[in-house]
């Protein structure tokens, strides 16, 4: 939506769990900004891509209104707005275009530690405190449960102790907050991570090309995250067995080692190269193992 523009605007969280990783992800895509003094708007320098620093809850609305073109937000926040729109019979205006691999958490129903969990039916008639009424309502409907949703914008976990609710539906990562409030996770409604949210229809102006450029770079960065160049030598007849241990590898380069039956291999691997994996390679005949970081990649 909105008028034609030739700069791209990305909304990110101003301060919170997603702020730093979102900023550094965009920076690793080659973006940089001239800081404005109030730091609500950062003017893009290397590319015409500006940042808007906002509360994460505002990001879906800014996208819907066409004020921003993309946003980095938890899937939970995006899907909550989506669930709300769906319950009202309104069309979706934005969608997750990439999963970003940080900000991982779950949306769980948590019950008092003293209770046993027997299934969704036990929530019948309960009061459930949550900041995610849309997602909760969808789940309750899908499970044929009637319950009263108590919508709170924060401090959901103390609602049962205050007698405001029987159980809660809240974001959980380590579970420490639940334990501290004598609650335990009972069932997971969704797993979440930060996503790049964008429009459902492509841009008709100069933003289209910018968006394509940004997504190309982002894909390179995301692919690179866990990518390592693994180098080693082995006997030629041991190569097949070694490559079987590297199922996440791309097109290996094989070089004959002069005057021997050995080959040198270079393999780009996309999974974490842990010690056990290296030890398994060594066991299978790899010598001179080396794992190198990949600085940049352009597919």
Q: Is 16 in the site for ligand ATP (CB under 6 A)?
A: yes
Binding test (CB under 6 A) with ligand ATP, winner from 44, 53, 56, 72? 56
CA separation, residue 75 to residues 171, 184, 286, 295 (Å): 12, 23, 42, 29
d(CA 168, CA 147): 12
Residue 74 contacts which entry, Mg ion, ligand ATP, none (Cβ below 5-8 A, type-dependent):
ligand ATP
Q: How is residue 229 written in tokens?
A: 């160049």
Q: Is 76 in the site for ligand ATP (CB under 6 A)?
A: yes
Binding test (CB under 6 A) with ligand ATP, winner from 130, 192, 227, 233? 192
Which of 80, 96, 78, 94 lies closest to 200 in space, CA to CA?
A: 94
- Please report, as residue ranges, which positions from 105 to 144 form the binding site for ligand ATP (by CB under 6 A): 105
Q: Which residues contact 271 (CB under 8 A, 6 or more apart)?
A: 226, 248, 277
Q: Is 60 in the site for ligand ATP (CB under 6 A)?
A: no
Q: For Mg ion, which is the closer residue by CB, 78 or 249?
A: 78
Q: Which helix (H) or strand (E) holds 87?
A: helix 75-87
Q: Is 171 in the site for ligand ATP (CB under 6 A)?
A: yes
d(CA 255, CA 105): 44
Q: How far apart are CB 55 and Mg ion at their closest, in Å? A: 5
Helices (H) and strands (E) in the chain, counts: 8, 16
How many beta carbons lie within 10 A of that of residue 68, not counting itself?
A: 27
Q: For ligand ATP, which is the closer residue by CB, 197 or 286?
A: 197
Q: Is 13 in the site for ligand ATP (CB under 6 A)?
A: yes
Q: For Mg ion, which is the closer residue by CB, 56 or 157?
A: 56
Q: For Mg ion, which is the closer residue by CB, 57 or 248?
A: 57
Q: How far apart are CB 174 and ligand ATP at their closest, in Å? A: 7
> Which positions lie near ligand ATP, rule CB under 6 A?
13, 16-18, 55-57, 74, 76-77, 103, 105, 171, 173, 192
């Amino acid at each position: 939506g909105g008028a034609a523009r030739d700069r791209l605007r990305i909304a990110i969280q101003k301060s919170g769990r997603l702020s730093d990783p979102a900023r550094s992800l965009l920076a690793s895509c080659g973006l940089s900004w001239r800081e404005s003094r109030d730091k609500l708007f950062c003017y893009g320098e290397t590319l015409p891509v500006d940042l808007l620093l906002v509360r994460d809850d505002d990001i879906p609305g800014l996208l819907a209104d066409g004020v921003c073109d993309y946003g980095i937000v938890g899937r939970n926040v995006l899907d909550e707005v989506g669930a709300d729109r769906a319950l009202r019979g309104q069309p979706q205006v934005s969608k997750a275009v990439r999963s970003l691999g940080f900000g991982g958490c779950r949306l769980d129903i948590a019950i008092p530690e003293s209770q046993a969990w027997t299934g969704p039916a036990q929530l019948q008639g309960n009061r459930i405190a949550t900041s995610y009424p849309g997602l909760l309502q969808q789940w309750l409907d899908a499970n044929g449960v009637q319950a009263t949703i108590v919508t709170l914008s924060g401090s959901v976990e103390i609602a049962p102790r205050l007698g405001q609710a029987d159980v809660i539906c809240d974001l959980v990562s380590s579970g420490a907050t639940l334990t501290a409030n004598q609650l335990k996770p009972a069932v997971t409604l969704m797993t979440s991570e930060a996503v790049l949210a964008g429009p459902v229809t492509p841009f008709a102006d100069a933003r289209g090309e910018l968006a394509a450029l940004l997504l190309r770079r982002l894909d390179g960065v995301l692919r690179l995250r866990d990518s390592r160049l693994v180098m080693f030598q082995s006997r030629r007849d041991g190569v097949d067995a070694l490559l079987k241990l590297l199922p996440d590898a791309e097109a290996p380069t094989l070089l004959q080692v002069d005057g021997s039956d050995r080959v040198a291999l270079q393999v780009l691997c996309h999974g974490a190269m842990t010690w056990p994996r290296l030890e398994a390679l060594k066991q299978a005949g790899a010598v001179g193992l080396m794992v190198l970081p990949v600085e940049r990649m352009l597919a």
